Chain A
């Protein structure tokens, strides 16, 4: 089944404790992206990747890191999480090299930073 998977689905952590949220897709998509969803703000793009080893900042990259060493994986790293990073995170992938492709979203990771 074609899908985007994220792990973990739920995470509670404390300020400053490094964490990684994994994202994997099995559709051979070149493009992958991370979003955060907050009430009243919709989805905001954190980082995106056009292909292996090619990444760029979205609208809210502060406090996050990403890497794209393999085509199927695009982990999101929070090196020193803070309470304002409490949010619902989505990973997405797309096959089009331009921005016109349909994005396929993962199920989301709900993060609480105490």
Chain B
């Protein structure tokens, strides 16, 4: 069965520092991978997605993620975070069917 694991439930980081949010997936078939962000009291919005092709995916707000098939990972990175990046981040996967599996989320707290 497909699963998505986000290893860190909370990540504190100082403003302007780099950050990496980790995501691992398990699947015996090809997958499509997504990162969504949820700001306080809002719905989710897409940051970026990997469907095929280049393993380095660039998204909105300066975020990027790298698809690593051998390590079954899709970690999210940003070289310099801002206070406004404080939010909860969700990794998600689907194998091309309509069933989506989300991770448990990582709360990013950016400190001044």
Contact = CB atoms under 8 A, between A and B. Distances in A.
Contacts of A56: 98
B98 A100 contact: no
B7 interface: no
Contact of B44 (A45, A90, A99, A100): A90
Given A100-B32, A100-B51, A102-B46, A45 B96 contact: no
Contacts of A33: 98, 100
Interface stretch (A36-44, A66-74, A78-86): A36-44
Query: Of A40, A43, A102, A106, which is in contact with the most chain B CB atoms at under 10 Å from its CB?
Result: A43
Interface string B28-67: 0000101010000011111001010000000000000000
B98 A31 contact: yes
Interface residues of B, number: 26
A99 B94 contact: yes
B98 A105 contact: no
Contacts of B104: 40-42
A4 B45 CA distance: 12
A35 B103 CA distance: 13
Contact of B94 (A41, A42, A100): A100
A50 B98 contact: yes
Counting chain A CB atoms within 10 Å of each CB, the highest count among B36, B92, B94, B100 belongs to: B100
Nearest to A106: B43
Contacts of A99: 32, 94-100
Interface of B: 6, 9, 32, 34, 36, 42-46, 49, 51, 90, 92, 94-105
In the A-B complex, the 8 residue pairs with the closest CB atoms: A105-B43, A99-B94, A42-B104, A43-B102, A105-B44, A42-B102, A100-B32, A102-B46
28 contacts: A31-B98, A33-B98, A35-B102, A40-B9, A40-B104, A42-B6, A42-B90, A42-B102, A43-B90, A43-B102, A45-B100, A45-B101, A50-B98, A58-B99, A59-B99, A59-B101, A90-B43, A99-B32, A99-B95, A99-B99, A100-B32, A100-B49, A100-B51, A102-B34, A103-B44, A103-B100, A105-B45, A108-B42
